[in-house]
Structure 1
Amino acid sequence: MILAIALLFAVLTLISTPIAIGIGISVAIGLAAFSPFPAIILFQKMVTGIDSFVLVAIPLFILMGNLMNSGGITDRIFAFMRSMLGHKRAGLAQANVGASLIFSGMSGSAVADAAGLGAVEIKAMKDQGYDAGFSAAVTTASSAIGPIIPPSIPFVLYGAIAEVSVGQLFMAGIIPGLLLALSISLMIAFMGRGERFPRDARVPWSVRWHHFRRAALSMATPAVVLVGIIGGVFTPTEAGAIGAAYALILSLLVYRTVRVRDLPRILVETMTTAAIVTFIISTVSGFSWVLAVSKAGDAFVDGITSLTSNPVMILLLINVGLLVIGALIEAGAVLILMTPILLPLAVTIGVDPVHFGAIMVLNLMIGVATPPVGMSLFVASHVADIPIERLMRAVLPFLVPLFAALAIVTYSPGLVMWLPRLVFAN
């Protein structure tokens, strides 16, 4: 039954069937043809699979990001980072990374980062004389930071599937996100040694203070969310509601960059995105149930551990597998599909489920920036108006710091788990 489902799903994927529909059809046919269970049970599992309070956070965080994007927040953040770093060597590229680090605490999405903030960053870099391919490559690489720094939609997904504290996952993402930003910045500095990148004129501190004041309320958004979670004031789901309300007040009443007539469009965009994610979760829930009743997960764990019991090698195999799959299939679908399969294996070799969540999400975000079909590649290519082949070549050097950060996160559990253990010690 599992083999039939896998083969049918592979065929449907090759003919460009949407992931959610492909999984649903494959599981339904597999149940009908090879199991004693009626196919109707799939629909029961689809409903119960999304009956989770945690998942309510997903549309709320999406709404927060959409409000911030529509409210011109990206311009304010990038202007502030440019005033701070633009006069340094490759300063505008470094400002690109810094702005992505800040904006990631609002969007929770790599594609939203590449599309919203990337449009501002790439235009500014091209106008200053940077190569369009390099500008798009920096934007693509830095967009991977978005879903690592909380709030993070992939962490909410993983937490719901793995039944792990979303608050702990948010804390576990902070150090890997900072590490990712640092590694990309070091690569930019290294590349800048042999290139005469243009620079801005140094601006006085009064101008920097002006840009900081314009962006301060926007940059406070992640703090509002995280402080509330850490202080136990509200749950991650409630944090999504607070964050969305804060973004609405900021865009509608304070900055006045979003008008009342814009709200229906923003809400429809939010509902569309949330519906796609929820539908994928729903159909994968049926597949997860099939894995459980067929004990396929146990067989997978036994098969891998029979090849090697070395945790270092097993984690290496998991990373390679996720990088390959993540470069071919949309990250959210891979996360939902592979978590029930890989988590038991990780737990068997002694990896904390929270640490493994950070490993999985980081892997898949690197996949978003990895050729041939990383989603951020296509978004940045469109924004920069360059051929996708040119961007694929330009982004290759930036895969080195991304892989280096992944290796550190994978094999340094103490580093990743330090904040979750500190914050949630009691």
Structure 2
Amino acid sequence: MIITTGVACAILVGGFLALILIRVPVAFALGIAIIPIVVLDIRLTPFIILDRMFQSYNSFILLAVPFFLLAANLMNSGKITDKLIALARVMTGWMPGGLGHVNVAVSMLFAGISGSSTADAAGCGKILIPAMVKEGYDTRFAVALTACSSVMGVIIPPSILMVVWGGVMQVSVGALFLAGAVPGFLIGFALMATVYVYAKIYDYPIVARPTFSDFWTAFKGAFLAILTPILVIGGIVGGLVTPTESAIIAAGYALVLGVFVYRTVTFRDLGGIFYDTGRFASISLFAIGTASAFGWMLSFYNAPRLIVEFMTTMQFGGFGTAIMIACLFLFFGLFIDAIPTIIILGSVLLPVATAAEIHPVVFAIIGIVSLAFGLVTPPYGLCLLISAAIGRVNVVKVMPDVLIILTPMLLILLLIILFPQIALWLPTTLMPDTFR
């Protein structure tokens, strides 16, 4: 039999949501939801689906994903996070709510190294959440702030999500890295403003007023680590290396720092680090394969075309369409990991954004920022779950603080939609050839 578009979409989406509700992992749910369609429609065979999966893996740029993960794991295992915290402490600890500002600042620094929000939440949270509680901060606030600040890991470059987006949507990864910088720092400053208000209301303490000597010592300790984003982004923007090569450089540089410079990683530790990296990378890449097959299936039944026609009929305009795109990414981010969402929803909405004359880079930043917020919103909320587990507190009790802290971050997303030049300024300035 030949299945119609409506029936196919109902089976695919309905089956996927049903599997998610019974807690089947997302990567497997995407693959299993395809099976009934393949069995029922005589035009499809299992070999077509397998071919789509393998084609998604045949991408040089996606090799950057495991190497950025390796760099993050080496940084965490090499105690380099401690050096970043020491630098953040002397930079921001003198303000009211000192450790809260340190939390945000170290997330911004670590984001420029790891490209992973979960690595940020785990690495920084293990140190800062207990330290904040010890200094008299409410545990719920410490957990909520750590979770929310960690989302900058996929917004401030380098970013694993930007690598995946660039590979799937054929957008310059270097341009995406530059486009994420200003929005990422704006989100960081919004978080610091929120911490300041909390500190004034709850009388949170100042850590210390550092001397120039303290600052110089901390800067020297962290200098080699904060060179990482300069090497990665500078190499890509300068046209010296590809994103994949820059990820390899980042991993190699982190390895040299941990083993030979700081000597905090032993050769015995490397086996466990490589194993963890391979395990997490395989999960991400398997999700890319099944999501690509799922997305191809939607395209096969013309779902993207129907969505474009619907959005065009509604006549939302550029601003309205951008708001709808952000809302859809925010909604899907509640339930699904960011990488499958990029492949499925991003591919479906790309024609919609093009029809509304939204720049591909702006579309990418709206999607990535929206999905980043999904990392702190249940039921998925992976960064929130990690932070809550470290703080040994129930996620439900943390949610009021999460919503308060998330509100100014959502306002930054609205600003990006209203003023696209926030995202486009750096790439148009430093990579003008990309935009000709």
TM-score, with normalisation over the residues of structure 2? 0.95
Moved more, 402-411 or 366-375: 366-375
CA contact (8 A) 2:155 2:184 kept: yes
Q: Does 1:176 find its partner at 2:183? A: yes
One-letter amino acid of the counterpart of residue 52, structure 1? S
Q: Which residue of 1 aligns with 2:202?
A: 195
Counterpart of 1:215 in structure 2 is 222
Pairwise CA RMSD of aligned residues?
1.4
1:206 aligned onto 2:213 = yes
Tell me if the contact between 2:157 and 2:178 (Cα under 8 Å) persists in the aligned partners: yes
Change (3 A) 1:383 1:34: same
- Structure 2: distance between partners of 1:422 and 1:279: 37
**Cα distance, 1:82 vs structure 2:** 0.9
Using the TM superposition, give the Cα deviation of residue 35 of structure 1 relative to its aligned residue in structure 2, in angstroms: 4.6
Partner of 2:300: 293
The answer for the alignment partner of 2:290 in structure 1 is: 283
Q: Where does residue 262 of structure 1 map in the other structure?
A: 269
- The aligned residue for residue 231 of structure 1 is 238
Name the counterpart of 2:359: 352
Indicate yes or no: 2:100 matched with 1:93.
yes
Q: In structure 1, how many angstroms separate the alpha carbons of the residues matched to 2:30 and 2:172? A: 27
Q: Which residue of 1 aligns with 2:50?
A: 43
- Displacement of 1:148 in angstroms is 0.4
Matching residue's letter, 1:58: V
Distance in 2, Cα, partners of 1:13 & 1:140: 23
- Asked if 1:156 is matched to 2:163, the reply is yes
Partner secondary structure for residue 198 of structure 1: coil
Asked if the contact 1:31/1:37 (under 8 Å) is kept, the reply is yes
Amino acid in the other structure paired with 2:175: Q
Alpha-carbon offset, residue 346 of structure 1: 0.8
What SS does the aligned partner of 1:151 have? Answer: coil
Question: Residue 162 of structure 1 aligns to which amino acid in structure 2?
Answer: M
Instruction: Give 1:315-394 correspondences, 5 Å limit.
Output: 315-394=322-401
1:277-324 CA distances to partner (integer Å, 9 max, x unpaired)? 111111122122223332221111111221233222222222222212
CA distance, structure 1, for counterparts of residue 245 and residue 21 of structure 2:
39
Identity of aligned residues (%): 36
Partner in structure 2 of residue 10 of structure 1? 17
Task: Answer whether contact 2:116 2:153 (CA < 8 A) is retained.
Answer: yes
Structure 2: distance between partners of 1:306 and 1:300? 10
CA contact (8 A) 2:104 2:191 kept: yes
More deviation, 251-260/39-48: 39-48
SS of residue matched to 2:153: coil
The Cα of 1:372 is off from its aligned counterpart by: 4.0
Moved over 3 A (4+): none
How far apart, CA to CA, are the structure 1 residues paired with 2:52 and 2:298? 13
Unaligned 5+ segments in structure 2 are: 1-7
Residue matched to 1:126: 133
| Structure 2 counterpart of 1:410 | 417
Contact map agreement 1:372 1:392 (CA 8 A) in 2: no
Give the secondary-structure state (helix, strand or coil) at the position aligned to 2:295.
Answer: helix
Please name the residue that 1:304 is paired with: 311
Tell me how far 1:2 sits from its aligned partner.
Answer: 2.4
Q: 2:143 matched to which residue of 1?
A: 136
- 1:120: Cα distance to partner? 1.2
Quote the residue 2:37 is aligned against: 30
Q: How much does 1:204 deviate? A: 1.9
Tell whether the 8 Å contact from 2:143 to 2:391 is kept in structure 1 after alignment: yes
Q: Tell me how far apart the structure 2 counterparts of residues 81 and 13 of structure 1 sit (CA, whole Å).
A: 40
246-255 or 156-165, which deviates more: 156-165
Q: 1:202 offset after TM fit, Å?
A: 1.8
In the TM superposition, what is the alpha-carbon distance from 1:96 to its structure 2 partner?
A: 0.9
Distance (Å, rounded) in 1 between the aligned partners of 2:95 and 2:323: 38
With normalisation by structure 1, the TM-score equals 0.97
3-state DSSP class of the match of 1:112? helix
Structure-2 residue corresponding to 1:68: 75
Distance of 1:6 and 1:207 partners within structure 2? 56
The unaligned stretches of length 5 or more in structure 1 are none
User: Could you tell me how far apart the structure 1 residues matched to 2:89 and 2:273 are?
Assistant: 28
How far apart are the structure 2 equivalents of 1:131 and 1:218? 31
C-alpha contact 2:326 2:370 (8 A) present in aligned 1: yes
Inter-partner Cα distance in structure 2 for 1:106 and 1:164: 22
**Residue 57 in 1 paired to residue 75 in 2?**
no
Question: Contact between 1:45 and 1:285, CA under 8 Å: does it hold in 2?
Answer: yes
Report the counterpart of residue 281 of structure 2 in structure 1.
274
